[in-house]
Amino acid sequence: MEFLKDHSIQNELLLIFISVILGILIGAEREYRNKSAGLRTFILICFGSCLFTILSIKIGVADPDRIAANIITGIGFLGAGVIFKGDNKIDGITTATTIWATASIGMAVGSGYVYLAALGTVLVLLILSSLTSFEKIIDKEHRIREYKIAVVNYHDIAYCEEIFKRHHLKFTISKQQYTQGNLATSWIITGKSVNHEALMKALMEDEKILAYQF
């Protein structure tokens, strides 16, 4: 009986060790990309999920998912903390979903499904790394930027539109602000990266454009 108990403890320690290793692999990728949640965060998420799952199985004999089910709720609060609004998009969604996926990997390890956890880790790393190149290709062909362009009067708005059309860019006005003879307009511009670069050069050289930023 004592042997079985020691053997069980060794298995649990091994599972915890495996969860830490998998957490390191995912956390290292996020740390390398300088994301808001880094190496230590993902190690603790994977380890904590694994430990809570082990405890849920050992303590809740009649209801083994009693504790583990609450991991998802806790991870939801943690994921919400890394999501924030950028200039024209919501940032941190990928990191938040990676936290969610890492918790599931930790739970898989804690349940003894190490092969599923290993496969999940490989898939997470594959999605985070290889698809980045694919995203760059999409961004190259369909880049969205918010430009703030200052002109003298309202009639120059139509002039700006002509510039955008000349560079094959789609546009829409998001907001305007008038201050002492200076009309600042925020534009959401969509198009190829090369067209954006040509637009910036044109704006710098145009005398009617007082200032711009993006």
In this predicted model, what pLDDT tens digit does every residue of 188-197 receive, in sequence order? 989 888 888 8
Any idea where the domains of the chain sit in the sequence?
Answer: 2-139, 142-213
What is the spatial distance between Cα 57 and Cα 80, in angstroms, rounded to a whole number? 28
Using 50, 70 and 90 to split pLDDT, how confident is the model at 3?
A: very low
Q: What is the pLDDT of residues 121-151, one digit of tens each?
A: 999 999 888 777 777 787 788 888 888 988 8
Given CATH 3.30.70.260, say whether it is the number of domain 142-213. Answer: yes
Exposed, middle or buried, 103 (CB in 10 Å: 0-12/13-18/19+)? buried
pLDDT at 101: 92
CA-based radius of gyration for the chain:
26
Do residues 104 and 120 lie in contact, with contact meaning Cβ atoms separated by under 8 Å? yes
What is the spatial distance between Cα 202 and Cα 205, in angstroms, rounded to a whole number? 5
Q: What is the pLDDT of residues 178-211, one digit of tens each?
A: 777 788 888 898 988 888 888 888 888 888 888 8
Tokens 């040509």 -> residue: 198
Using 50, 70 and 90 to split pLDDT, how confident is the model at 11?
A: confident
Do residues 30 and 99 lie in contact, with contact meaning Cβ atoms separated by under 8 Å? no
pLDDT at 133: 74
pLDDT at 2: 42
The 3-state DSSP class for residue 2 equals helix
Residue range 60-82: mean pLDDT, rounded: 72
HSE at residue 181, side-chain half, CA atoms within 13 A, is: 1
What is the spatial distance between Cα 29 and Cα 155, in angstroms, rounded to a whole number? 50
